[in-house]
Amino acid sequence: MRDSIVFWLIKLNLYCFFILGAFLIPYVIMLAAMGLPLFFMEFAFGQFASVGPVSVWSISPLFKGVGYAMTTVIWLVQVYYNVIVAQAFLYLFVSFNSRPPWSSCGNWWNNPVTCLDQTSKILIQLTGPVQKPKNYSTNTTVPLNETTSASSEYYNNYILRLSSGIDEIGTPVWHLTLCLLLAWILCCLVLIKGVKFLGKASYFTAIFPYIMLTILLIRVALLPGSLEGVKYYVTPDFSKLKDATAWTDAATQLFFSLGCCNGGLITLSSYNKFKNNCCR
């Protein structure tokens, strides 16, 4: 649930950026029509039965396969989440350098032709004359759609070490493997003592991400041009509502953020007291 909250905030911001502020309209509509009713139904279902997502279907053995499907989905989702957590750990460790390696193009993983140095104060032209130091000049044309940022190349070429295709398996990336191991060790340490310790640990895991996001918000707000970004973010483009993609993205994000239909809500609510007010 902690990961769902954090990545809900990240993905919601991405959707709002690409679809503009109008994305919140279909999201809120679907939240009221489908999300909240289904959320409370699963929560009440688990609290009433006081068992997990597989055993709860003993009321109707015909649908027991739904419970196994839920368990499979939540397992796959957690594997996916921990990979992202491992990448976050790696960025955290590397960020202690005085100059982050993703801020420049002069590294072995960068393409010197297509890489755009994000530390540059001004970019005059993407296509035009490139002046060489004092002795000669030449013209180099780089199409805009073929350029990549230094941070993107750092992520794809250094952190992920992407291969040319699925036919090339490659070797494990040691720094990412160690961070993934650290992520799973932390999960084991939190869960090894049961749900009660998980409840205590959730005070930190639920609050800490919001503290970090607040710090990032303050830092970004102090940067030049931040007001323009806020205006772009909150200005709705209602023409996007005519696109079915906006509605499907809203539905996808809704189920992703609430954690519905994956068994997590049923499992957590099964530990509640039978007469607990789950709507409070």
- Is 60 known as a binding-site position? no
238 in Cβ contact with 22 (< 8 Å): yes
**Separation of alpha carbons 41 and 51, rounded Å:** 15
3-state SS assignment for residue 203:
helix
HSE-CB at 183 with a 13 A cutoff on CA atoms is: 21
- The answer for residues whose C-beta is within 8 angstroms of residue 158's C-beta and 6 or more apart is 101, 107, 109
Region of residue 107 (left: phi > 0; alpha: psi -120 to 50; beta: else):
beta
What's the rounded Cα separation, in Å, for the pair 183 and 155?
Answer: 19
Which two three-digit tokens encode residue 249? Answer: 């993205």
Residues 82 and 183: beta-carbon distance below 8 Å: yes
Closest of 158, 161, 141 to residue 150, by C-alpha: 158
Which amino acid belongs to residue 90? L
Among 29, 14, 47, CA closest to 266: 47
End-to-end CA separation in angstroms for the chain: 18
| Binding annotation | 257
| Binding annotation for Na(+) | 257
